[in-house]
Structure 1
């Protein structure tokens, strides 16, 4: 099935009928899906590869998260991304507070997306046995000003040492119209660059013998 679906993307927090601004990007990666997954989750390593979001701060973790995983994204992690919208001004960042809403691996499936939507919608990879999936939603100031958003990542196993990365965000609410007007093209480029950066970092780690 072609992705994204012809009728547009959706998320649980911002259903298709409410989407004002959809943004998406994808790429294939010559590295194990588990390695891409571990790279994506480790916020402490973002300064080494993520040009769109070179730093992030975790505010709280679920109670059962061990200290050795305190820098990783988990279900219900509260955190802030410091995003760089203008690459010519890397020191100018926009803090964006988020919370993880979904977390699914081939070993531990999430029930966040209803089974009928997984099977029929086309937005999500339906085979939970071959996908790592994480999502987060904005909270705090942006929400108070009228923005609803949810962003997903899916890392889909294509074979041994190869996977596909898909990322998309759906925005709705009053503020989403302003974001669309001012930042639509910039965000499209930033999402594509995020995928390029993640691909480059994961393939470098794979070439150095990392497995995830």
Structure 2
């Protein structure tokens, strides 16, 4: 496996937030000794998240495109709520959760045969009740799953803009960065444990 050249993805923009416009940019990466389809499956199947995801241990799917079924598999058009645990190291039986309403805007699985990168993008669901106005806070997050020699590289980054982001950066910037790193480490441990 190769050394990751930009482990925090600090030079990557999201589809709708240029790097120079982001008031907060956070990211993480890891190498996983497993094929990309297994990594993709764990990342997009939210029913597995309580097993491995300390930062977002619970997801509520609110709607899926073109179906009444609320499949736990993320796909383009999925509307969902992250029940975020901002302090995954808490020893409390029920750490407080923050609900964040999201929408998948891009979703394409990796293809080891063609070498295509798996990519999933989510942003705030501004139609969901309780979501801040986009002028106050817009966050957009990208996950990429890339086949590399010996396994898979996972890249994860988010850009935020809006008036509230300055407060978010000051109060939670370091915690969010730590949680993004925990996310990919949790994913790596889970997927490698399946091998």
TM-score by length of 2: 0.85
> For residue 91 of structure 1, what is the aligned residue in structure 2?
95
> For residue 173 of structure 2, what is the aligned residue in structure 1?
184
Q: 2:146 aligns with which of 151, 156, 160?
A: 156
Tell whether 2:185 aligns with 1:204. Answer: no
> For residue 131 of structure 1, what is the aligned residue in structure 2?
117
Q: Find the aligned partners of 2:54 and 2:81 in 1 and give their Cα distance.
A: 16
Gaps of 5+ in 1: 108-127, 207-212
Tell whether 2:105 aligns with 1:104. Answer: no
> For residue 26 of structure 2, what is the aligned residue in structure 1?
23
Q: Find the aligned partners of 2:79 and 2:49 in 1 and give their Cα distance.
A: 16
- Comparing 2-11 with 137-146, greater Cα deviation is found at 2-11
- Comparing 97-106 with 170-179, greater Cα deviation is found at 97-106
Q: Cα deviations across residues 165-186 of structure 1 (Å, max 9, x unaligned)?
A: 1100000111111110100100
For the residue of structure 2 that corresponds to 1:74, the secondary structure is coil
- Comparing 96-105 with 185-194, greater Cα deviation is found at 96-105
For the residue of structure 1 that corresponds to 2:132, the secondary structure is helix
**Do the aligned partners of 1:28 and 1:163 also contact (CA within 8 Å) in 2?**
yes
**Do the aligned partners of 1:9 and 1:170 also contact (CA within 8 Å) in 2?**
no
> For residue 74 of structure 1, what is the aligned residue in structure 2?
75
For the residue of structure 2 that corresponds to 1:174, the secondary structure is coil
> For residue 60 of structure 2, what is the aligned residue in structure 1?
57
For the residue of structure 1 that corresponds to 2:143, the secondary structure is strand
Q: How many residues align?
A: 183
Gaps of 5+ in 2: none
Are residues 163 and 6 of structure 1, via their aligned partners in 2, closer, same or farther at CA, if it must alter by over 3 Å? closer
> For residue 137 of structure 2, what is the aligned residue in structure 1?
147
Q: Find the aligned partners of 1:63 and 1:159 in 2 and give their Cα distance.
A: 37
**How much does 1:142 deviate?**
4.0
Superposed CA RMSD: 2.3
> For residue 171 of structure 1, what is the aligned residue in structure 2?
160
**How much does 1:9 deviate?**
2.6
Q: Find the aligned partners of 1:180 and 1:174 in 2 and give their Cα distance.
A: 11
**How much does 1:18 deviate?**
1.5
**Do the aligned partners of 1:74 and 1:103 also contact (CA within 8 Å) in 2?**
yes
